[in-house]
Structure 1
Amino acid sequence: MATGKMRRTPIERLEYAIILSTLLILVVLMVQPLLNLLAISLSDPSKVTSMSGLAIVPDGFSFDVWKLLITNPAVQRGILNSIFITLTSTVLGVIFTALMAWALSRPGLPGRRTILVLVLVTIVFDPGMIPDYFLNKRLGLIDSYWSVILFKVVNAWYLIILIRFFEEVPSEVLEAAELDGANAFQIFWHIALPVSKSALATVALFYFVFHWNDFFRPMIYLNDQSKWPLQVVLRQFVVEGDKLAMVGVDNSNNYTGASQINIRALSAGMILLTIVPILAIYPLILKFFTKGTMSGALKG
């Protein structure tokens, strides 16, 4: 029997080269803007205005932008608020979505079809901002973190993803657990959740990205600036161009070189602050996708 690698045909080699080239181009297109932002934020403030949008190497070198941002109380509070809101929303979202999806995936649930129709209705017909605002006002949630945390704590799209995944759990395994005396919650906790890690990781990632990037709802419902997440602080700074309020430079003597800081460099630093957590979480979630893919291949 011949051993070794199978030789590719010329057509296969061409296809491989095209795919590889396309992926490399996509990587460059996605990474270059991030490197440009990093280069701008680390450049000498007096040279930032002359830098092009394609530059990926700092012109000069300075940490003034990052010192101003990291030591600014508004930015510090924004980071802590974003972490608290995002993590709390993600944990609650995954828990409640998984519980509801497991119940709706069981064929014997009374009124299952009606509930599923109501779930689909929430996708097609959005209640709108005004009824939502008055509801939160009646519940006393205005200017409360909960007005943001509880928003879409069960997302209909993510619910459908988990329902379809739970429906694929072998009925034989569930029946064996019932014969062994396991109750409904034990089956859910010890069988359904462990075999659904990839789906749960996907939903958790969706919730995390959604709440981390959300700025509109906090901007409407959180009037207290001390409760603003980082995205609202970023919007106030970048969109409004409020350099002094966001960086806290009321007097150029408060910080060496503060008066020379370019708003473009500050914007680049703020944007990177909001992007880095999203980029950091992907490698942590990726292993669950890999395990889920391999598990599906083995089942097949």
Structure 2
Amino acid sequence: MASQSRRTPLERVEYVLIVSTLLLLVVFTVQPLLNLLALSFSDPSKVAGFSGLSIIPDGFSPDVWALLLQHPNVQRGIFNSIWMTATSVVIGVLGTALMAWGLSRPGLPGRRVIFILVLVTIVFEPGIIPDYFLMKRMGLLNTPWSVIMYKAISAWYLIILVRFFEEIPRELLEAAELDGANPFQTFFLVVLPLAKSALATIALFYLVLHWNEFFRAMIYLNDQSKWPLQVVLRQFVIEGDKIAIVGANNANNNIGIAQINIRALKAGMILITILPILAIYPLILKFFTKGTMSGALKG
């Protein structure tokens, strides 16, 4: 309150404009999600007239969520997405960190050539056809590894991490060497703890990249039991394959097709793919505000 009293009239106007703009952005961002949530929990008989601006369910019915969460295609899609995304993030973060640490060392032989080759992959990114034949020759088609290994190490994220590692003070590395640490101990016990904020950022990038992947999964995976959730979502929401969700599950749940509105089903399916990212993001956000050298000089 004391800081607000010291603001000039112009600063107060700027403060009000900034806060108002941010609040509007929050409303425009959150309202569609709340609308989808309310739509998915509304009474099926009242969904047809449900407004696109409403955030309160019209009646209450959990039938949509019961139908989706009990459907085998959705269950397999959730499991496949979680497994492939988690594996991709671990491989991506570890591989990017190892390669970035090597490229950040001035004494690496051929460092400039390797860095140029990395930049070439950004400018001349191969298309889907070379990728497809590469996966075929490696015997990875119709396996989850074809999706996991696609962009296992991103050149963009690699450059970000290289620049971060180059800012680590040389004195810290020399101190670790004097204490008898070998290169691997220095990397895992000194460098990685200092790079928590950067690694969290890279992990979030890989998480969003692989969680939202559907195009290559749709091409590489012919077996529907291996489809990630995004492909199931596209099949239902974009292609309008209602029978794939309702028909196969109708006998088990005693929910008639006429009782479930297609809009409510689409809303529930979209939320199932969005909520995991929204749940994980706050856990990673705390690392963004930490300084690069936080705790480096303690003890």
Normalising by structure 2, we get a TM-score of 0.94
Cα deviation 1:152-210 (Å, max 9, x = unaligned) = 11100000010000000001111122222211111111111011000000000000000
CA distance in 1, matches of 2:255, 2:105: 64
Residue 171 of structure 2 corresponds to: 172
* Kept in 2: contact 1:43–1:59 (CA 8 A): yes
Q: Which runs of 5+ in 1 are unaligned?
A: none
Shift of 1:293: 7.0
Residue 32 of structure 2 corresponds to: 33
SS in 2 for 1:193: helix
Q: Which runs of 5+ in 2 are unaligned?
A: none
CA distance in 2, matches of 1:207, 1:103: 20
Cα deviation 1:186-237 (Å, max 9, x = unaligned) = 1111111011000000000000000000110110001000000000000000
Residue 22 of structure 1 corresponds to: 21
CA distance in 2, matches of 1:130, 1:294: 44
Shift of 1:254: 4.8
Cα deviation 1:86-142 (Å, max 9, x = unaligned) = 000000000000000000000000000000000000000011111111111111101
- The amino acid that maps onto 1:111 is G
Shift of 1:247: 3.1
Residue 89 of structure 1 corresponds to: 88
CA distance in 2, matches of 1:11, 1:29: 27
CA distance in 1, matches of 2:293, 2:185: 26
* Kept in 1: contact 2:71–2:249 (CA 8 A): no
CA distance in 2, matches of 1:46, 1:249: 22
Cα deviation 1:20-56 (Å, max 9, x = unaligned) = 0000000000000000100110011111111121111
CA distance in 1, matches of 2:252, 2:227: 27
Deviates more, 1:171-180 or 1:99-108: 171-180
* Kept in 1: contact 2:42–2:57 (CA 8 A): yes
- The amino acid that maps onto 1:230 is L
- The amino acid that maps onto 1:85 is M
Residue 41 of structure 2 corresponds to: 42
* Kept in 2: contact 1:198–1:289 (CA 8 A): yes
Shift of 1:259: 2.7
**% same residue:** 73
CA distance in 2, matches of 1:87, 1:248: 31
Structure 1 residues 266 and 109: CA distance shift in structure 2, 3 A: same
* Kept in 2: contact 1:72–1:248 (CA 8 A): no
Q: State the superposition RMSD in angstroms.
A: 1.7
Structure 1 residues 295 and 250: CA distance shift in structure 2, 3 A: closer
Residue 267 of structure 1 corresponds to: 266
* Kept in 1: contact 2:146–2:220 (CA 8 A): yes
Shift of 1:251: 5.0
* Kept in 1: contact 2:236–2:242 (CA 8 A): yes
Map of 1:207-286 to 2, 5 A cutoff?
A: 207-249=206-248, 251=250, 254-286=253-285
SS in 1 for 2:122: helix
- The amino acid that maps onto 2:166 is E
SS in 1 for 2:282: helix
SS in 1 for 2:290: helix
- The amino acid that maps onto 2:126 is P
CA distance in 2, matches of 1:279, 1:249: 30
SS in 2 for 1:152: coil
Deviates more, 1:202-211 or 1:127-136: 127-136
- The amino acid that maps onto 1:161 is I
CA distance in 1, matches of 2:281, 2:40: 24
- The amino acid that maps onto 1:51 is F
CA distance in 2, matches of 1:250, 1:194: 48
CA distance in 2, matches of 1:35, 1:288: 27
Matched, 1:137 2:140: no
CA distance in 2, matches of 1:274, 1:8: 44
* Kept in 1: contact 2:47–2:263 (CA 8 A): yes
Matched, 1:118 2:117: yes
Matched, 1:151 2:138: no
CA distance in 2, matches of 1:238, 1:12: 47
Residue 183 of structure 1 corresponds to: 182
Shift of 1:260: 1.5
Deviates more, 1:180-189 or 1:98-107: 180-189
